[in-house]
Amino acid sequence: MAGYTPLFASIVRSSIWDEDAKTCKVWVTMLALAEADGTIEASIKGLAHEARVTVTECATALHILKAPDEYSRSKDDEGRRIKDIEGGWLVINHAKYRKKAQSRSAYIRQWRAQKKRNSPVTPKEEEKDSHSYSNTETLCNSAQQSVTHETCFTLEEVKDSCLPNGIPDSEAESYFHHFNAQGWRRANSQAITNLRSHIAKMWDKTNRRWIFDEKQQKSGETKNLPPVTVGPDGKTPYEHAMEQYGP
């Protein structure tokens, strides 16, 4: 079973990259085949097959990799990259580069953890913490109900659906905050899909208020509310809306 050999980008700046393409190909193949201890068990013919080169090309590459290299960045064994062992070869600096890779992996993990700790709170996280709402809010309160995006509505959509019923923006906001907190579900847990129809059902036209309690709505219970404001022509906002948009 092959082990793990790290391959650094610096290989393209090493002296091995000045060798011919077949030698570089054999070298990278050996790195890929190396076991955890840096050994490669194979014959020259077997290695040539894995590297997709001829046996002669493989033998030439092995000669270069076993020879001293005065331009090598590593001075271990005079810059040699491999040496013969029983049944194959050993990548001389395998353990050193593997340790270097592990050190870099630990550094990257530490850097990511530090970055995560120091990262600012995202708008969505801040919104969940403060339970605040805005005109552009489109997220449902998933802490209470899990619903699909199609059953979520924005405040602007609510206002547009309230307009034909003459419902003022302040009441539209009350409706939005109430059902957004409920995950856009009715009292029986069914999702609200037809926004305009549901608004018309929840709105008490007589007393100009919402009846969010469906039991109260069915029983016809009402509460004393301030008188409905009328315009100079003696008509309520609802009557004006009905004239403009129709029933």
pLDDT in tens, 118-152: 665 555 554 554 444 444 344 454 444 444 444 68
CATH number of the domain enclosing 47: 1.10.10
In a domain, 110, yes or no: no
What is the rounded end-to-end Cα distance, in angstroms, of the chain?
Answer: 77
Is the pLDDT at 74 greater than 80? The verdict is no
What is the structure's pLDDT at 88?
A: 94
Q: Note whether 216 and 134 are same-domain residues.
A: yes
Is the pLDDT at 114 greater than 50? The verdict is yes
In a domain, 108, yes or no: no
Is the pLDDT at 112 greater than 90? The verdict is no
Average model confidence (pLDDT) across the chain: 75
Q: Please give the tally of structural domains in the chain.
A: 2
In a domain, 116, yes or no: no
Is the pLDDT at 5 greater than 80? The verdict is no
Q: Which domain holds residue 133?
A: 124-245
Angle made by CA atoms 185, 190, 194, in degrees to the nearest 5: 75
Is the pLDDT at 35 greater than 50? The verdict is yes
- pLDDT (mean) for 78-91: 91
Amino acid at the residue 225: L
In a domain, 104, yes or no: no
Stronger pLDDT, 53 or 230, i.e. the higher one: 53
